[in-house]
Homo-oligomer: A and B are copies of this chain.
Protein backbone atom coordinates (compact mmCIF):
# COMPACT_ATOMS: atom_id res chain seq x y z
CA UNK A 1 0.00 0.00 0.00
CA UNK A 2 1.48 3.29 -1.13
CA UNK A 3 1.40 6.14 1.38
CA UNK A 4 0.44 8.78 -1.21
CA UNK A 5 -2.45 8.55 -3.62
CA UNK A 6 -1.78 10.91 -6.49
CA UNK A 7 1.12 13.28 -7.03
CA UNK A 8 1.76 15.83 -9.73
CA UNK A 9 5.03 16.85 -11.33
CA UNK A 10 4.70 20.11 -13.26
CA UNK A 11 7.55 20.91 -15.58
CA UNK A 12 8.67 24.24 -16.97
CA UNK A 13 11.34 26.88 -16.36
CA UNK A 14 8.68 29.49 -17.09
CA UNK A 15 6.67 28.31 -14.06
CA UNK A 16 9.65 28.84 -11.75
CA UNK A 17 10.72 32.17 -13.19
CA UNK A 18 7.21 33.58 -12.88
CA UNK A 19 6.73 34.09 -16.60
CA UNK A 20 3.71 31.84 -16.46
CA UNK A 21 1.30 30.90 -13.71
CA UNK A 22 0.48 27.23 -13.28
CA UNK A 23 -3.18 26.30 -13.71
CA UNK A 24 -2.86 22.51 -13.90
CA UNK A 25 -2.74 21.80 -10.19
CA UNK A 26 -6.07 23.52 -9.59
CA UNK A 27 -7.66 21.79 -12.58
CA UNK A 28 -6.38 18.29 -11.84
CA UNK A 29 -6.94 18.72 -8.10
CA UNK A 30 -10.59 19.58 -8.58
CA UNK A 31 -11.14 16.86 -11.16
CA UNK A 32 -9.70 14.00 -9.11
CA UNK A 33 -11.11 15.16 -5.79
CA UNK A 34 -14.65 15.29 -7.10
CA UNK A 35 -14.01 11.76 -8.39
CA UNK A 36 -13.15 10.60 -4.88
CA UNK A 37 -9.37 10.48 -5.17
CA UNK A 38 -6.89 12.97 -3.82
CA UNK A 39 -3.84 14.87 -5.00
CA UNK A 40 -1.48 14.73 -2.04
CA UNK A 41 1.45 16.71 -3.34
CA UNK A 42 2.65 18.60 -6.38
CA UNK A 43 6.20 19.53 -7.37
CA UNK A 44 7.23 22.12 -9.89
CA UNK A 45 10.69 21.80 -11.46
CA UNK A 46 12.51 23.10 -14.51
CA UNK A 47 13.21 21.53 -17.92
CA UNK A 48 16.21 19.54 -16.69
CA UNK A 49 16.44 15.91 -17.79
CA UNK A 50 18.48 14.67 -14.82
CA UNK A 51 16.39 16.40 -12.21
CA UNK A 52 13.11 15.29 -13.71
CA UNK A 53 14.35 11.69 -13.81
CA UNK A 54 15.62 11.81 -10.22
CA UNK A 55 12.41 13.33 -8.90
CA UNK A 56 10.25 10.84 -10.77
CA UNK A 57 12.24 7.86 -9.43
CA UNK A 58 11.75 9.20 -5.92
CA UNK A 59 8.01 9.85 -6.29
CA UNK A 60 7.28 6.46 -7.90
CA UNK A 61 8.38 4.87 -4.65
CA UNK A 62 5.73 6.78 -2.65
CA UNK A 63 2.78 7.46 -4.89
CA UNK A 64 0.20 5.18 -6.50
CA UNK A 65 -0.23 7.61 -9.41
CA UNK A 66 2.19 10.25 -10.73
CA UNK A 67 0.89 12.71 -13.32
CA UNK A 68 3.53 14.67 -15.22
CA UNK A 69 2.60 17.77 -17.23
CA UNK A 70 4.69 19.74 -19.66
CA UNK A 71 7.83 19.39 -21.76
CA UNK A 72 6.51 17.15 -24.56
CA UNK A 73 6.89 19.77 -27.33
CA UNK A 74 9.16 19.50 -30.36
CA UNK A 75 11.87 21.93 -29.23
CA UNK A 76 15.27 21.20 -27.70
CA UNK A 77 14.24 22.28 -24.21
CA UNK A 78 11.40 19.74 -24.11
CA UNK A 79 13.08 16.86 -22.29
CA UNK A 80 10.26 15.21 -20.34
CA UNK A 81 9.97 12.26 -22.74
CA UNK A 82 13.66 11.39 -22.35
CA UNK A 83 13.67 12.01 -18.60
CA UNK A 84 10.74 9.66 -18.03
CA UNK A 85 12.42 6.98 -20.15
CA UNK A 86 15.59 7.42 -18.05
CA UNK A 87 13.71 7.17 -14.76
CA UNK A 88 11.82 4.04 -15.79
CA UNK A 89 14.86 2.52 -17.57
CA UNK A 90 12.78 2.03 -20.72
CA UNK A 91 14.10 2.61 -24.25
CA UNK A 92 12.23 5.06 -26.51
CA UNK A 93 10.66 3.49 -29.58
CA UNK A 94 9.47 5.18 -32.77
CA UNK A 95 5.76 4.67 -33.45
CA UNK A 96 4.90 4.99 -37.13
CA UNK A 97 1.18 5.31 -36.42
CA UNK A 98 1.70 8.34 -34.16
CA UNK A 99 4.01 9.89 -36.75
CA UNK A 100 1.26 9.52 -39.38
CA UNK A 101 -1.20 11.20 -37.01
CA UNK A 102 1.19 14.14 -36.61
CA UNK A 103 1.72 14.41 -40.38
CA UNK A 104 -2.04 14.31 -40.94
CA UNK A 105 -2.55 17.10 -38.42
CA UNK A 106 -0.04 19.33 -40.21
CA UNK A 107 -1.62 18.55 -43.56
CA UNK A 108 -5.07 19.62 -42.36
CA UNK A 109 -3.55 22.92 -41.22
CA UNK A 110 -1.95 23.34 -44.65
CA UNK A 111 1.55 23.27 -43.17
CA UNK A 112 4.57 21.02 -43.39
CA UNK A 113 5.74 19.02 -40.38
CA UNK A 114 9.23 19.81 -39.26
CA UNK A 115 11.90 17.14 -38.64
CA UNK A 116 11.81 18.26 -34.99
CA UNK A 117 8.24 16.96 -34.77
CA UNK A 118 9.57 13.41 -35.37
CA UNK A 119 10.72 13.44 -31.74
CA UNK A 120 7.07 13.52 -30.75
CA UNK A 121 6.53 10.08 -32.30
CA UNK A 122 8.90 8.41 -29.80
CA UNK A 123 7.47 6.75 -26.68
CA UNK A 124 8.84 4.62 -23.84
CA UNK A 125 8.56 0.95 -24.74
CA UNK A 126 5.46 -0.65 -23.22
CA UNK A 127 3.65 2.62 -22.67
CA UNK A 128 0.15 3.32 -23.98
CA UNK A 129 -0.19 6.51 -26.01
CA UNK A 130 -2.88 9.02 -25.08
CA UNK A 131 -4.31 10.76 -28.16
CA UNK A 132 -4.23 14.57 -28.21
CA UNK A 133 -6.98 16.08 -30.36
CA UNK A 134 -5.70 19.62 -29.79
CA UNK A 135 -2.01 19.39 -30.69
CA UNK A 136 0.90 17.32 -31.96
CA UNK A 137 2.12 16.12 -28.56
CA UNK A 138 0.46 12.81 -27.70
CA UNK A 139 0.75 11.77 -24.05
CA UNK A 140 1.48 8.33 -22.64
CA UNK A 141 0.84 6.12 -19.62
CA UNK A 142 2.86 3.29 -18.18
CA UNK A 143 2.46 1.18 -15.04
CA UNK A 144 5.64 0.35 -13.13
CA UNK A 145 6.51 -0.63 -9.53
CA UNK A 146 2.85 -0.39 -8.55
CA UNK A 147 2.72 3.18 -9.82
CA UNK A 148 0.76 4.54 -12.77
CA UNK A 149 2.83 7.21 -14.52
CA UNK A 150 0.81 9.44 -16.88
CA UNK A 151 2.62 12.03 -18.99
CA UNK A 152 0.66 14.87 -20.61
CA UNK A 153 1.48 17.98 -22.65
CA UNK A 154 1.48 21.40 -20.97
CA UNK A 155 -1.08 23.51 -22.84
CA UNK A 156 -4.24 23.45 -20.70
CA UNK A 157 -6.67 22.98 -23.59
CA UNK A 158 -4.66 19.88 -24.64
CA UNK A 159 -4.09 18.48 -21.16
CA UNK A 160 -7.67 18.93 -19.92
CA UNK A 161 -9.51 16.52 -22.24
CA UNK A 162 -6.68 13.94 -22.07
CA UNK A 163 -6.78 14.07 -18.29
CA UNK A 164 -10.56 13.93 -18.09
CA UNK A 165 -11.21 11.27 -20.72
CA UNK A 166 -8.25 8.91 -20.37
CA UNK A 167 -6.26 9.37 -17.14
CA UNK A 168 -9.19 9.97 -14.77
CA UNK A 169 -11.02 6.73 -15.71
CA UNK A 170 -7.77 4.82 -15.03
CA UNK A 171 -7.46 6.51 -11.63
CA UNK A 172 -11.06 5.63 -10.82
CA UNK A 173 -10.31 2.03 -11.80
CA UNK A 174 -7.41 1.98 -9.34
CA UNK A 175 -9.19 3.60 -6.44
CA UNK A 176 -12.66 2.10 -6.89
CA UNK A 177 -14.04 4.52 -4.42
CA UNK A 178 -17.24 6.49 -4.12
CA UNK A 179 -16.72 10.07 -5.22
CA UNK A 180 -15.81 12.29 -2.30
CA UNK A 181 -18.65 14.58 -1.36
CA UNK A 182 -17.54 18.14 -1.90
CA UNK A 183 -19.49 21.36 -2.24
CA UNK A 184 -18.65 25.06 -2.36
CA UNK A 185 -21.11 27.51 -0.84
CA UNK A 186 -20.81 31.02 -2.24
CA UNK A 187 -21.26 34.20 -0.25
CA UNK A 188 -21.04 37.87 -1.10
CA UNK A 189 -21.63 41.17 0.68
CA UNK A 190 -19.61 40.27 3.79
CA UNK A 191 -15.86 40.08 4.40
CA UNK A 192 -14.07 37.13 5.98
CA UNK A 193 -13.39 38.90 9.28
CA UNK A 194 -17.00 40.01 9.74
CA UNK A 195 -18.15 36.53 8.83
CA UNK A 196 -15.92 34.65 11.30
CA UNK A 197 -17.84 35.43 14.54
CA UNK A 198 -21.15 34.66 12.81
CA UNK A 199 -20.10 31.23 11.61
CA UNK A 200 -17.53 29.97 14.12
CA UNK A 201 -19.91 27.82 16.16
CA UNK A 202 -21.36 26.32 12.96
CA UNK A 203 -17.90 25.44 11.63
CA UNK A 204 -17.02 23.86 14.97
CA UNK A 205 -20.11 21.69 15.15
CA UNK A 206 -19.69 20.07 11.73
CA UNK A 207 -16.56 18.05 12.47
CA UNK A 208 -17.43 15.48 9.78
CA UNK A 209 -16.32 17.99 7.12
CA UNK A 210 -13.12 19.77 6.30
CA UNK A 211 -14.30 23.38 6.06
CA UNK A 212 -12.27 26.02 4.29
CA UNK A 213 -12.93 29.69 3.83
CA UNK A 214 -11.69 31.14 0.53
CA UNK A 215 -11.91 34.92 0.24
CA UNK A 216 -11.65 36.59 -3.19
CA UNK A 217 -12.51 40.00 -4.61
CA UNK A 218 -16.17 39.10 -5.12
CA UNK A 219 -16.88 37.51 -1.75
CA UNK A 220 -15.98 34.48 0.36
CA UNK A 221 -16.45 30.89 -0.75
CA UNK A 222 -16.98 28.21 1.90
CA UNK A 223 -15.62 24.82 0.85
CA UNK A 224 -17.04 21.68 2.45
CA UNK A 225 -15.26 18.34 1.95
CA UNK A 226 -16.30 15.02 3.45
CA UNK A 227 -13.61 13.82 5.86
CA UNK A 228 -14.24 10.08 5.70
CA UNK A 229 -14.72 8.93 2.13
CA UNK A 230 -16.90 5.88 1.87
CA UNK A 231 -19.19 6.79 4.75
CA UNK A 232 -22.98 6.68 4.33
CA UNK A 233 -23.64 8.90 1.31
CA UNK A 234 -27.23 9.79 2.23
CA UNK A 235 -26.13 10.83 5.71
CA UNK A 236 -23.29 12.98 4.34
CA UNK A 237 -25.69 14.75 1.98
CA UNK A 238 -28.15 15.36 4.81
CA UNK A 239 -25.39 16.78 7.02
CA UNK A 240 -24.26 19.07 4.18
CA UNK A 241 -27.82 20.36 3.79
CA UNK A 242 -27.96 20.96 7.55
CA UNK A 243 -24.71 22.88 7.32
CA UNK A 244 -26.09 24.94 4.46
CA UNK A 245 -29.29 25.68 6.42
CA UNK A 246 -27.27 26.78 9.48
CA UNK A 247 -25.11 28.99 7.31
CA UNK A 248 -28.17 30.51 5.69
CA UNK A 249 -29.67 31.23 9.10
CA UNK A 250 -26.45 33.06 10.06
CA UNK A 251 -25.78 34.88 6.77
CA UNK A 252 -29.20 35.28 5.13
CA UNK A 253 -29.08 36.16 1.46
CA UNK A 254 -25.35 36.74 1.64
CA UNK A 255 -25.20 32.99 1.03
CA UNK A 256 -26.32 33.32 -2.57
CA UNK A 257 -25.50 30.02 -4.23
CA UNK A 258 -23.29 26.98 -4.53
CA UNK A 259 -20.84 25.32 -6.90
CA UNK A 260 -20.48 27.23 -10.14
CA UNK A 261 -23.29 29.69 -9.30
CA UNK A 262 -22.43 33.34 -9.89
CA UNK A 263 -24.31 36.47 -8.92
CA UNK A 264 -24.71 37.38 -12.59
CA UNK A 265 -26.17 33.96 -13.48
CA UNK A 266 -28.65 34.09 -10.59
CA UNK A 267 -29.61 37.65 -11.51
CA UNK A 268 -30.12 36.48 -15.08
CA UNK A 269 -32.35 33.60 -13.99
CA UNK A 270 -34.47 35.90 -11.80
CA UNK A 271 -34.85 38.51 -14.55
CA UNK A 272 -35.74 35.89 -17.16
CA UNK A 273 -38.30 34.27 -14.86
CA UNK A 274 -40.02 37.64 -14.29
CA UNK A 275 -39.61 38.95 -17.84
CA UNK A 276 -37.83 41.99 -16.42
CA UNK A 277 -34.90 43.82 -17.97
CA UNK A 278 -31.76 45.70 -17.09
CA UNK A 279 -29.62 48.61 -18.29
CA UNK A 280 -26.25 49.60 -16.85
CA UNK A 281 -24.49 52.97 -16.58
CA UNK A 282 -20.86 52.68 -15.52
CA UNK A 283 -18.28 55.27 -14.69
CA UNK A 284 -15.33 53.93 -12.66
CA UNK A 285 -16.12 50.26 -13.43
CA UNK A 286 -15.73 51.11 -17.13
CA UNK A 287 -17.67 48.19 -18.61
CA UNK A 288 -16.78 45.59 -15.99
CA UNK A 289 -20.35 45.11 -14.74
CA UNK A 290 -21.64 44.75 -18.31
CA UNK A 291 -18.82 42.27 -18.95
CA UNK A 292 -19.89 40.15 -15.94
CA UNK A 293 -23.57 40.30 -16.92
CA UNK A 294 -22.76 39.25 -20.50
CA UNK A 295 -20.54 36.39 -19.27
CA UNK A 296 -23.87 34.59 -19.02
CA UNK A 297 -25.01 32.95 -22.24
CA UNK A 298 -28.52 34.21 -23.03
CA UNK A 299 -28.02 37.57 -21.30
CA UNK A 300 -29.29 39.32 -24.43
CA UNK A 301 -32.78 38.36 -23.23
CA UNK A 302 -32.64 40.86 -20.34
CA UNK A 303 -29.64 43.16 -20.78
CA UNK A 304 -30.98 45.96 -22.97
CA UNK A 305 -27.83 48.08 -22.96
CA UNK A 306 -24.80 49.27 -21.07
CA UNK A 307 -23.25 52.72 -21.22
CA UNK A 308 -19.70 53.48 -20.11
CA UNK A 309 -19.90 57.18 -19.29
CA UNK A 310 -16.44 58.10 -18.09
CA UNK A 311 -16.57 61.83 -18.85
CA UNK A 312 -19.06 64.39 -17.53
CA UNK A 313 -20.04 65.20 -21.10
CA UNK A 314 -21.00 61.61 -21.84
CA UNK A 315 -23.00 61.37 -18.60
CA UNK A 316 -25.03 64.36 -19.78
CA UNK A 317 -25.22 63.47 -23.49
CA UNK A 318 -25.80 59.71 -23.29
CA UNK A 319 -27.60 59.29 -19.97
CA UNK A 320 -29.35 62.63 -19.60
CA UNK A 321 -27.66 63.39 -16.26
CA UNK A 322 -28.32 67.08 -15.46
CA UNK A 323 -25.33 69.38 -15.71
CA UNK A 324 -26.77 71.09 -12.61
CA UNK A 325 -26.37 67.92 -10.52
CA UNK A 326 -22.75 67.50 -11.63
CA UNK A 327 -22.12 71.20 -10.91
CA UNK A 328 -23.75 71.09 -7.46
CA UNK A 329 -22.48 67.72 -6.18
CA UNK A 330 -19.65 66.63 -8.46
CA UNK A 331 -19.66 63.57 -10.72
CA UNK A 332 -18.87 61.31 -7.74
CA UNK A 333 -22.05 61.87 -5.75
CA UNK A 334 -25.25 60.16 -4.77
CA UNK A 335 -27.32 62.53 -6.92
CA UNK A 336 -25.32 61.82 -10.09
CA UNK A 337 -25.27 58.07 -9.43
CA UNK A 338 -29.06 58.06 -9.12
CA UNK A 339 -29.46 60.15 -12.30
CA UNK A 340 -27.16 57.74 -14.14
CA UNK A 341 -29.20 54.71 -13.06
CA UNK A 342 -32.47 56.48 -13.91
CA UNK A 343 -31.02 57.61 -17.25
CA UNK A 344 -30.00 54.08 -18.19
CA UNK A 345 -33.58 52.95 -17.55
CA UNK A 346 -35.12 55.85 -19.40
CA UNK A 347 -33.10 55.56 -22.61
CA UNK A 348 -33.73 51.81 -22.87
CA UNK A 349 -37.07 51.29 -21.17
CA UNK A 350 -35.50 48.70 -18.85
CA UNK A 351 -37.11 47.65 -15.55
CA UNK A 352 -33.92 48.30 -13.58
CA UNK A 353 -30.94 50.60 -13.96
CA UNK A 354 -27.57 49.97 -12.31
CA UNK A 355 -24.96 52.72 -11.92
CA UNK A 356 -21.49 53.29 -10.51
CA UNK A 357 -19.48 56.47 -10.08
CA UNK A 358 -16.30 56.77 -8.06
CA UNK A 359 -12.55 57.24 -7.96
CA UNK A 360 -10.68 54.08 -8.97
CA UNK A 361 -7.24 55.62 -8.42
CA UNK A 362 -4.34 55.58 -8.11
CA UNK A 363 -4.68 59.33 -8.80
CA UNK A 364 -7.70 61.64 -8.67
CA UNK A 365 -8.41 61.50 -4.92
CA UNK A 366 -8.90 64.54 -2.66
CA UNK A 367 -9.26 64.80 1.15
CA UNK A 368 -13.07 65.01 0.81
CA UNK A 369 -13.28 62.44 -1.96
CA UNK A 370 -10.49 59.89 -1.41
CA UNK A 371 -9.42 57.19 -3.87
CA UNK A 372 -11.90 54.34 -3.58
CA UNK A 373 -14.92 56.53 -2.76
CA UNK A 374 -17.81 55.16 -4.76
CA UNK A 375 -21.55 55.56 -5.12
CA UNK A 376 -23.27 52.58 -6.62
CA UNK A 377 -26.80 51.35 -6.79
CA UNK A 378 -29.96 50.32 -8.52
CA UNK A 379 -33.01 52.27 -9.59
CA UNK A 380 -36.49 51.22 -10.65
CA UNK A 381 -39.80 52.88 -11.49
CA UNK A 382 -40.50 55.04 -8.46
CA UNK A 383 -37.42 54.35 -6.36
CA UNK A 384 -33.69 53.76 -6.01
CA UNK A 385 -31.18 52.30 -3.57
CA UNK A 386 -27.85 54.13 -3.86
CA UNK A 387 -25.00 53.24 -1.48
CA UNK A 388 -21.81 55.11 -0.57
CA UNK A 389 -18.64 53.22 0.33
CA UNK A 390 -14.87 53.64 0.27
CA UNK A 391 -13.33 50.56 -1.38
CA UNK A 392 -9.72 49.60 -0.73
CA UNK A 393 -6.98 48.14 -2.88
CA UNK A 394 -5.30 48.85 -6.16
CA UNK A 395 -7.16 50.24 -9.16
CA UNK A 396 -8.35 46.92 -10.52
CA UNK A 397 -9.20 45.54 -7.08
CA UNK A 398 -11.35 48.60 -6.41
CA UNK A 399 -13.11 48.20 -9.77
CA UNK A 400 -13.74 44.48 -9.25
CA UNK A 401 -15.04 45.06 -5.70
CA UNK A 402 -17.40 47.82 -6.85
CA UNK A 403 -18.73 45.61 -9.65
CA UNK A 404 -19.45 42.78 -7.21
CA UNK A 405 -20.97 45.09 -4.58
CA UNK A 406 -23.33 46.49 -7.23
CA UNK A 407 -24.30 43.05 -8.50
CA UNK A 408 -24.85 41.88 -4.91
CA UNK A 409 -27.05 44.87 -4.07
CA UNK A 410 -29.09 44.22 -7.19
CA UNK A 411 -29.37 40.50 -6.46
CA UNK A 412 -30.54 41.21 -2.91
CA UNK A 413 -33.23 43.56 -4.23
CA UNK A 414 -34.44 40.99 -6.76
CA UNK A 415 -34.47 38.34 -4.03
CA UNK A 416 -36.43 40.64 -1.71
CA UNK A 417 -33.73 40.66 0.97
CA UNK A 418 -32.87 43.66 3.11
CA UNK A 419 -29.13 44.25 3.22
Contact = CB atoms under 8 A, between A and B. Distances in A.
Interface of A: 13-23, 25-31, 33, 38-46, 77, 109, 111, 155, 157, 182, 184, 193, 210, 212, 214-215, 221, 223, 225, 280, 282, 285-291, 293-295, 297-300, 303-311, 313-314, 317-318, 347-348, 360-363, 393, 395-396, 399
A148 B29 CA distance: 30
A206 to B, nearest CB: 13
B43 A15 contact: no
Contacts of A310: 294, 299-300, 303-306
Contacts of A280: 308
A18 B29 contact: yes
A287 B306 contact: yes
5 contacts: A13-B225, A287-B291, A305-B318, A313-B348, A318-B347
Contacts of A297: 360-363, 395
Contacts of A311: 300, 303-305
Nearest 4 Cβ contacts at the A-B interface: A18-B30, A286-B294, A287-B290, A306-B308
A318 B307 contact: yes
Nearest to A298: B363
A306 B291 contact: no
A106 to B, nearest CB: 10
B314 A348 contact: yes
A215 B135 CA distance: 14
A184 B20 CA distance: 11
A365 to B, nearest CB: 12
A41 B13 CA distance: 10
A306 B30 CA distance: 38
A13 B210 contact: yes
A22 B214 CA distance: 12
Contact of A307 (B17, B38, B193, B307): B307
Contacts of A30: 17-19
Contact of A16 (B41, B295, B399): B41
Contact of A22 (B22, B304, B347): B22
A364 to B, nearest CB: 8
A280 B308 CA distance: 9
Contact of A111 (B13, B26, B193, B360): B193
Contacts of A29: 15-19
Given A15-B29, A16-B40, A223-B19, A294 B300 contact: no
A293 B15 CA distance: 28
Nearest to A310: B300
Contacts of A46: 40-41
A38 B41 CA distance: 22
Contact of A39 (B16, B27, B309): B16
Nearest to A363: B297
A217 to B, nearest CB: 11
A212 B14 contact: yes
Contacts of A293: 286-287
Given A15-B42, A305-B307, A306-B306, 10 more contacts: A16-B38, A21-B26, A22-B25, A40-B46, A41-B44, A44-B44, A285-B294, A297-B361, A305-B310, A306-B307
A309 B299 CA distance: 12
Contacts of A288: 287, 291
A220 to B, nearest CB: 12
Nearest to A74: B196
Contacts of A182: 17
Choose among A42, A46, A310 the residue with the greatest number of B CB atoms under 10 Å from its CB: A310
